[in-house]
Amino acid sequence: MANREGGVAVPDAAIRQKYIEERDKRKRPDGLGQFVKLATSDKFKYLQEDPWADHAALNTQTPPLKDGDEVKFLVQGAGYGGLAFAVHLIEAGFKATEIRVVDDAGGFGGTWYWNRYPGLMCDVESYIYMPFLEETGYMPRFKYSYGSELREHAERIAKKWGLTDKALFRTRCHHATWDDVAKRWIVRATEKRGPAEPSREIQFKAQYVFVASGILTNPQIPRLPGFEKFQGEHFHTSRWNYDITGGDPVDWTMAKLKNKSVGIIGTGATAVQAVPQLANWAKHLYVFQRTPSSVDERGQRPTDPDEWANKIAPKQGWQRARSQNFITKLTNVPVEEDLVNDGWCSTDSYCAVIGAPGIVPPDKVSEHITRLHTLDLGRAERVRHRTNDVVKDPFTAERLKAWYPAWCKRPTFHDDYLPTFNRPNVTLVDTDGKGLDAMTEKGVVANGTEYPIDVLVLSTGYSVTVENDSGSPVSRAGMTVVGRDGLSMDEKWIREGAGTLHGVTTHGFPNLFFPGPTQAGVTANFTHTLSLLAFHVANILADAERRVDSTERVTVEVTKAAEEAYTMQILMRSTWFAGFAGCTPGYINMEGARDNETDSQELMKAARAAPWGEGIVKFEEMLEAWRADGKLEGLRIEGNC
């Protein structure tokens, strides 16, 4: 029986049956094809334009990287991932002057550059989410920082490590080819210079390339019949248009919405944060829902400086210890004291996404899934019950319940989202898993009814790849990367499936690194993984360069044998993630495509792309042991004269 706090218990089997029924409503034959990727759509590319770049100022700056230049370290991506690579290289002994950062964006921050929607905040405690707090001496203003603070922190990190003038912004890398004679990557990119100047094609050489392009950077919208007829204002949440709403990224006073009928499509993690802000200003807000998010309590509060000084950050090493405590708790390994102690820390079943100690034998998969459901049901029922406690209209409360386990979609935590549905100016338009029917000149059609809309917010998420769906680390960046044997990384992935050493490098692509998450240890705190892998790679390179006479021509490449041996380790542990089968569609399971796969080779390829099944703590221990061994086992280092 499911154990629901303060309510009548419901049989587990009935709930699991309900999960299946709800998932089946949402399965679609078009899968990933239901979306338009903005990056590759001529028709909709206007929705992906950068609203934030200060072209006038950037055009007057001396570019840190020009056509024909050569650089030692090219870091592609100026988010927390790219910054982690750059900082750890410097900490490992390399010079900031040897590094150049390139980003499509007009500034540092990555996710926090592009996303500036009202209500934006991190969902992992900022004390562990924001990297390098100790080194920068910064105290976040809130337990969960808001977007502008997160972006400013990226700038703070860049400044502290001398990277501010090392970044070429508004520049998208599209090709990289390995020159095996020169031992350099030849990178081609397009530098945009705003509406007043033409774009420039540039090419440069790099000894090492780091692809830190993120996984949630490519906005998508649903392919809705009649979209192009819609006459109302509209934008994607990752390119919020404050000219339309009023307000700005810091002051969410959206006074221009006062007389407007506003619609928002989507109820994922983004919408959960934006909806309460829109409801504060819209004359009427329609929330178009296909699948509800699970929304638990947040417990947002300002940072208490005394608590900060005495309890949170009292001594050197506090941030790593706190983050370690969090990731350990999330894999259900007991900790002496739960330091973060928030909603994540009681989401025991989230280990289904991130792994936990113990290998699941293939004949025990079914028991493993049952155990995950047992871990989940009590919490899931409590969170569903919460909608009845908070939302006054029982019909609406019922429709806001998430009928899937915590691992199928990112669980959300928010204090104001559910109460928003008690407001007279807010209507939940639930489509019972169908999604919208169409769009018209005037608005949106759902459940056969046309809703007139003045301003439509597309909170419809991201495509995890750009050009193709190979799933390779560079497909997320929309780059064609051709390695030593003339093979592109996408071709390699499509042919063989994923293959890496430690989730950071792949055979045939020397001196090229990426920060997982494929075949790496993962956790709910994304920056933990990014820092861990950046530290690992920086130390590999420092060690590799110490071993050669000439660092000029050094190459670091995983051998094919080591890649396969490591991939076998991944495969052995991949049964841990069996709980994803049967999940409601979403970007995590390629919109349910995995469930339909019957070809054993394709299933094997999917399994190769799993993260480290025993969880990030064990993964980190494995990396530490590998480094301590001192042999750089599995890597071929060349460069001696």
**Footprint of ligand FAD (CB under 6 A):** 76-82, 102-105, 110-111, 113, 115, 122-124, 129, 172-173, 212-214, 216-217, 270, 477-479, 525-527, 530
Helix and strand tally (H, E) in the chain?
21, 23
- Shortest separation between residue 505's beta carbon and ligand NDP, angstroms: 25
Select the residue interacting with ligand NDP from 385, 586, 632, 636 (CB under 6 A).
586
Cross-strand bridge partners of residue 463: 218
- Which positions from 3 to 32 touch ligand NDP by CB under 6 A, shown as an x/- string? -----------------------x------
Sheet architecture: strand order including 35-37: 35-37, 218-222, 462-463
Rounded to the nearest 10 degrees, what angle do helices 526-546 and 615-629 cross at? 10
Instruction: Tell me whether residue 145 or residue 245 sits nearer to ligand NDP (CB atom).
Output: 145
- Shortest separation between residue 150's beta carbon and ligand NDP, angstroms: 9
Q: CB neighbours of 45 closer than 8 A, spacing ≥ 6?
A: 38, 39
Residue 422 CA to residue 416 CA, distance in Å, equals 11
- Shortest separation between residue 110's beta carbon and ligand FAD, angstroms: 2
- Shortest separation between residue 121's beta carbon and ligand FAD, angstroms: 7
Residue 502 CA to residue 473 CA, distance in Å, equals 13
Residue 439 CA to residue 428 CA, distance in Å, equals 18
Residue 391 tokens read as: 């939302």
DSSP alpha helix (H) spans, 130-264? 133-136, 147-160, 242-245
How does DSSP assign 392-451, residue by residue? SSHHHHHHT---S-TTSS--EE-SSHHHHTTSTTEEEEE-TT----EE-SSEEEETTEEE
Residue 84 CA to residue 89 CA, distance in Å, equals 8
Cross-strand bridge partners of residue 210: 75, 513
Instruction: Tell me whether residue 85 or residue 286 sits nearer to ligand FAD (CB atom).
Output: 85
Quick one: what does residue 325 bind among ligand NDP, ligand FAD, none, with the CB cut-off 5 to 8 Å set by partner type? Answer: none
Sheet architecture: strand order including 449-452: 438-439, 443-446, 449-452
- Shortest separation between residue 500's beta carbon and ligand NDP, angstroms: 22
Asked if 436 is part of the footprint of ligand NDP (rule: CB under 6 A), the reply reads yes
Reference 434, options 444, 447, 451, 453; nearest CA is: 447
**Sign of the alpha-carbon torsion through 242, 246, 247, 253:** negative
Instruction: Tell me whether residue 41 or residue 431 sits nearer to ligand FAD (CB atom).
Output: 41
Residue 385 sits at φ, ψ, to 5 deg, of -60, -30
Residue 71 tokens read as: 């650089």
396-419: buried (b, 16+ CB within 10 Å) or exposed (e) per residue?
bbebbbbbbbbbbbbbbbbebbbe
Quick one: what does residue 526 bind among ligand NDP, ligand FAD, none, with the CB cut-off 5 to 8 Å set by partner type? Answer: ligand FAD
Quick one: what does residue 118 bind among ligand FAD, ligand NDP, none, with the CB cut-off 5 to 8 Å set by partner type? Answer: none
Select the residue interacting with ligand NDP from 265, 489, 534, 537 (CB under 6 A).
265
Select the residue interacting with ligand NDP from 112, 161, 252, 288 (CB under 6 A).
288
Asked if 410 is part of the footprint of ligand NDP (rule: CB under 6 A), the reply reads yes
Asked if 216 is part of the footprint of ligand NDP (rule: CB under 6 A), the reply reads yes
Residue 498 CA to residue 475 CA, distance in Å, equals 12
Asked if 234 is part of the footprint of ligand NDP (rule: CB under 6 A), the reply reads no
- Which positions from 104 to 133 touch ligand NDP by CB under 6 A, shown as an x/- string? ------------------xx----------
Select the residue interacting with ligand NDP from 81, 266, 515, 521 (CB under 6 A).
266
Q: Which amino acid is at 209?
A: V
Of 162-170, 284-292, 495-503, 532-540, the segment contacting ligand NDP by CB under 6 A is 284-292
Instruction: Tell me whether residue 151 or residue 290 sits nearer to ligand FAD (CB atom).
Output: 151
Instruction: Tell me whether residue 112 or residue 493 sits nearer to ligand NDP (CB atom).
Output: 112
Residue 328 CA to residue 504 CA, distance in Å, equals 22
Asked if 406 is part of the footprint of ligand NDP (rule: CB under 6 A), the reply reads no
In the block, which residue shows the tokens 């706190």? Answer: 322
Asked if 226 is part of the footprint of ligand NDP (rule: CB under 6 A), the reply reads no
Of 90-98, 161-169, 269-277, 543-551, the segment contacting ligand NDP by CB under 6 A is 269-277
Quick one: what does residue 267 bind among ligand FAD, ligand NDP, none, with the CB cut-off 5 to 8 Å set by partner type? Answer: ligand NDP
Of 40-48, 56-64, 267-275, 627-635, the segment contacting ligand NDP by CB under 6 A is 267-275
> DSSP label at 506?
-
Asked if 461 is part of the footprint of ligand NDP (rule: CB under 6 A), the reply reads yes
Reference 93, options 577, 493, 541, 407; nearest CA is: 541
Instruction: Tell me whether residue 214 or residue 497 sits nearer to ligand FAD (CB atom).
Output: 214
Residue 276 sits at φ, ψ, to 5 deg, of -60, -35
Of 5-13, 287-295, 328-336, 631-639, the segment contacting ligand NDP by CB under 6 A is 287-295
Q: Which residues bind ligand NDP (CB under 6 A)?
A: 26, 122-123, 216, 222, 265-271, 273, 288, 290-291, 410, 435-436, 459-462, 586-587
